[in-house]
Amino acid sequence: MASIFLAHVPNRFSLAVPRETWLKPIQDYDSELRIFPSQTQPCFRLMRVASHSGGMSHKIFKDIPGIHPDTKVALENRLVAVCTIPPMALDAPPDNIVMQLRRRDQWAIGGGQGMDAGDKIADMLDRRDADNYEFKRAEIREEGKDLHRGSRISFLYRTGARVSLVRPPTYRKGTASPSGSPPPVGIPPAAGTTTP
C-alpha cells in the first residue's frame, strides 16, 4: 500500500517527515487522504483526493499571478483541502486527528450520496446550532437569576433586614409565607386559610 505522504512535494522548511507508524492510523481511517509539507508555512496540509470531479487543471492557473503554492500542489494532485497539521502533532499519537476527522465526516451521515444528502447535513447543523443557542440562553438565564439573588441579598443586608446567606427561607408544610402570599407551589395551604 502506498504512503499517504506526498514525498515528491518540496519540503521547504525541512520539517521532519511523518513516520509510517504515525501515518498508518490515518491511512486506515481513509486511504484517500494525503499529507504534504506546506510551501509557505512550517506545517503540513492534510487533503483528500477529489472523488466526484476531475478537479481543475493546474494549467488554468499557470498564468494567474499570486496563486497560493499549496493550492498549486492541490490542483496538480487533484486534492481538496481538509485541515492543517502543525509539526508538533507528529510527536503525539494521531488518534486526535482521526477523532476530529470522524466527528466532521459528512459521508457518515449520508453526505455525497444523492440529492437529499445536503439536507441531512444542513438539518444536523441546524440542530447543533439550536442546541448551542438554547444552552447559551439557559446559561444567561441562570446568570440572571444568580445576579438577582445576589443583588436582593445585598439590598436586604444594606437595609438591615435579616438575611440568610446560606439558603432561601423554607416554610413548614402547610404554613403560609410571612407576606401573606400563597405558599410555594406543591405545598397545600394550612387548614382554615384560603388563598386568593
Residue 180, domain member (yes or no): no
Residue 63's pLDDT is 65
Q: Is residue 89 part of a domain?
A: yes
Residue 134 lies in domain = 110-167
* Res 160: pLDDT: 83
pTM for this prediction: 0.58
Q: Identify whether 161 is part of a domain.
A: yes
Number of helical (H) and strand (E) elements in the chain, helices listed first: 4, 3
Q: Is residue 47 part of a domain?
A: yes
Residues 93 and 114 in one domain: no
Structural domains in the chain (count): 2
The pLDDT value given to residue 44: 97
Q: In what order do the strands lie in the sheet with 33-37?
A: 33-37, 44-49, 79-85
88 and 50 together in one domain: yes
74/33 Cα distance (integer angstroms): 12
Q: What is the pLDDT of residues 130-162, one digit of tens each?
A: 999 999 999 999 999 999 988 988 888 888 887
Top mean-pLDDT range of 45-59, 129-143, 181-195: 129-143
| Integer Cα distance of 111 and 131 in angstroms | 21
pLDDT for the residue 65: 74
Residue bearing the bigger pLDDT, 39 or 167: 39
